Amino acid sequence: MKPRNSLFLGLCTLLLTSSGMWSCIGGSNNSGKAAPNLNAQLRQLIREHGLTGDPAKGRLLPSINDPLAQLGMKLFFTKGLGGNMDAACVSCHHPVFGGSDGLSLPIGVDAVDPDLIGPGRLHQAGAHGFDGGPTVPRNSPATFNVALWDSSLFWDSRVESLGKSAGFNGGDGYGIRTPDTPFGEADLMAGTNLAAAQSRFPVTSPEEMRAFTFEAGNDNTAVRDHLVARLGDFGIGAGELPGNTWLNEFQTAFSSSAGAEELITFERVVEAIGAYERSQTFVDNPWKDFVEGDQNAISRSAKRGAILFFKPVEDGGAGCVQCHSGDFFTDEQHYNIAVPQVGRGKGDGGTGTDDFGRFRETGQSEDMYAFRTPSLLNLAVSGPYGHSGAYTSLEAMVRHHLDVETAIANYDTSQLDPTVQTGDWQVNSQAALNDLLQKRVLGIQTVMNCVLNEQEFQDLMAFLDALNDPCVLDRQCLDPWIPDGSVSDPDGQRLNGKDQFGQPL
Ligand code: HEC
Ligand code: HEC
């Protein structure tokens, strides 16, 4: 039998490290050697991984011009859904940030300037829970391409399809579990897709939208009932948005002449918001063109990077595809890769500022510190990266994967906005790293150390760059998803986002 090493293409030499892991030491002069066969090699890998290039293939997705998506956009942008009318969905998910907010950690209610989105958004001194830093413990994930998740939403997948039939986005008859139901049990109010199900929760979170005084002490149902009464101008919400025209908007979107109490329900609110979010599909990137046959759609460097991405570590690659698999570049599973834990945390651990991730939902030790594998589309606009936004540069986020121990030892908190809470980051991150090292010994999947030379690293970055849809970098192209003066503002509460210099987003 041939020794294992001779099978490898000479791209790297394998070392069995003390922790029992294969470690890849990249060979320096091979990127050039492989060049003549680049296309053939890559096409072979694409076939092996069954890629089509188009993660939206076969999905029935709404257009932003659909009346329902239009209503959803207006709801997404209104502070009227915030308990104290000072936060909207868009506060943390603006299209110019790829459906995120450009911050490591978000601030929802009680911002100094509610309409300022992105860097410079600050929590009001003296407001509930003020500590100078962000109030929300996890990085805001992109709403762009949210329709492409089949299994779950949130970093810990606490909104979860119980059926998981590929391509159906939660609507496969088994239902969707949400934070309103025990683990494993369907929430009968979840609606027909994950995006709608998820939209039921930001309005109930005091830090995100609800605020601390609105329906204080009452349950999620009371919050939602009050909000729809406000939009519909009836009952407990009558007069809170005087003269609003939401009833007309709902009548148009749902082709109905019913009255407000019948028509404006929270189920319809989230159906519309879900339609808007599901219209945010941005997958037309150079990589897709390449997979679909255009040999020149991506650079040679990106092709070499793609090969590294798809090849296993024991085969001279970087092994990224092990978790970032498929056309959407995620297996929708959870792993502990020990991204530094900064921010307020979720109340876990001895510090109280730790975040146990998926373990919080399942209670299984293999899920300790595990977070859902993110997609890798449109990373150019969706940073900072990781569940805590600990990495403000994509390069540092990728380097973290290649050598977690060194990345944690050298983690530089000065990359963060100075307001981000970092007091406990070392204790918390060391605990996650210890757990990761333990998982390696137990054979539980996590990242493997892999040394790439500078050229290989740049190649990998060039590949990630080929996963950006040019539309997400083009403000004009995003126009249809950002309401301007020509789009009716039903309650005068539209959040017209601006940056820290006062410029409209
Ligand atoms: C204060 C900031 C903030 C506001 C306001 C906010 N979100 Fe989020 N959103 C987040 C954060 C943070 C997460 C991730 C939380 C987690 O995983 O625990 C998230 C997660 C999501 C996700 C899941 C994405 C994924 O890939 O899993 C969707 C979809 C989403 N929000 C939509 C909305 C909608 C719709 C609204 C309005 C009803 C809204 N958000 C309001 C911060 C915010
Ligand atoms: C063992 C599974 C696994 C492997 C292998 C892996 N990743 Fe990840 N990746 C993850 C998980 C899980 C996260 C999120 C972790 C967190 O935030 O705590 C992540 C996060 C990321 C992010 C941040 C995305 C965002 O939106 O915040 C990037 C970029 C990334 N990975 C790229 C790569 C690259 C490039 C490789 C190959 C060198 C790779 N990953 C290999 C599991 C993996």
The per-residue pLDDT for range 258-275, each reduced to its tens digit, is 999 999 999 999 999 999
Domain-embedded: residue 245: yes
Mark whether 91 and 16 lie in a shared domain: no
Q: How far is the CA of 242 from the centre of ligand 1 (A)?
A: 28
Residue 153 Cα, ligand 1 centroid: separation in angstroms? Answer: 9
Tell me the per-residue pLDDT of 62-96, one tens digit each, with 9 for 90 and over.
999 999 999 999 999 999 999 999 999 999 999 99
Residue corresponding to tokens 């606490």: 158
Tokens of 239: 């007069």
Same domain, 258 and 293: no
Residue 109 lies in a domain: no
Ligand 1 site, residue 298, Cβ cutoff 6 A: no
Mean pLDDT, all residues of the chain: 92
- Give domain status of residue 165, yes or no: no
Q: How many domains does the chain have?
A: 2
**Of the bound ligands, which one is closest to the alpha carbon of residue 461?**
2
39 C-alpha vs ligand 1 centroid, how far in Å?
39
Confidence band (pLDDT; 50, 70, 90) for 12? very low
- Residues whose CB falls within 8 Å of the CB of residue 47, separated by 6 or more in sequence, listed in order: none
Q: Which ligand is nearest to the CA of 323?
A: 2
Least confident of 144-148, 201-205, 313-317, 354-358: 313-317
Ligand 2 centroid distance, CA of 373 (Å): 6
Cβ of residue 389 lying under 6 Å from some atom of ligand 1: no
Task: Assess whether 318 and 404 both reside in one domain.
Answer: yes
**At which residue do the structure tokens 């939602």 appear?**
224
Same domain for 203 and 347, yes or no, is no
Q: Are 373 and 396 in contact (CB under 8 A)?
A: no
- 217 and 288 assigned to the same domain: no
pLDDT per residue as tens digits for the range 313-348: 999 999 999 999 999 999 999 999 999 999 999 999
pLDDT tens for 127-180 read 999 999 999 999 999 999 999 999 999 999 999 999 754 334 445 567 999 999
CATH of the domain at 83: 1.10.760.10
Model confidence band, residue 31 (pLDDT cutoffs 50, 70, 90): very low
What pLDDT is recorded for position 163?
A: 77
In angstroms, what is the span from residue 236 Cα to ligand 2's centroid? 46
- 395 and 429, same domain (yes or no): yes
Residue 170, domain member (yes or no): no
Looking at the CA of 450, name the nearest ligand: 2
Domain that holds residue 275: 67-100+141-149+190-280+477-481
Report yes or no on 495 lying in a domain: no
Q: Look at residue 128 and tell me if it is in a domain.
A: no
Give the pair of three-digit tokens for residue 250. 């709902």
Q: What percent of the chain has pLDDT over 90?
A: 90
Q: What's the pTM value of the predicted model, to 2 decimals?
A: 0.94
Pocket lined around ligand 2, Cβ cut-off 6 Å? 318-320, 322-324, 335, 337, 339, 371, 373-374, 376, 379, 382, 385-387, 394, 397-398, 401-402, 445-447, 460
* Residue % of the chain over a pLDDT of 70: 91
What's the count of helices (H) and strands (E) in the chain, helices before strands? 16, 8
Stretch 465-485: mean pLDDT? 98
Task: Tell me: do 395 and 247 sit in the same domain.
Answer: no
Contacts (Cβ under 8 Å, ≥6 apart) of 121: 91, 101, 103, 106, 107, 111, 112, 113, 500
Ligand 2 atom with least separation from CA of 445: 1
Place of tokens 């829970």: 129
What separation in angstroms does the CA of 22 have from each of 5, 317, 334? 12, 12, 21
CA–CA separation, 96 and 112 (whole Å): 21
Nearest of 272, 374, 284 to residue 323 by alpha carbon: 374
State the pLDDT at residue 36: 62
Which residue, by CA, sits nearest to atom 6 of ligand 1? 89
Q: Could you give the angle at the alpha carbon of 171 between the alpha carbons of 165 and 173, nearest 5°?
A: 80
Same domain, 235 and 317: no
- Ligand 2 atom closest to 142 (CA): 26
First to last CA, the chain: 62
For residues 274 and 360, membership in a common domain is answered with no
Give residue 11's pLDDT: 39
Clarify whether residues 317 and 358 are in a common domain. yes
**Residue 91 and residue 47 share a domain:** no
176 assigned to some structural domain: no
The reply to whether 333 and 453 lie within a common domain is: yes
For residue 374, being part of any structural domain is answered with: yes
Ligand nearest to the CA of 342: 2
Supply the pLDDT for residue 174: 78
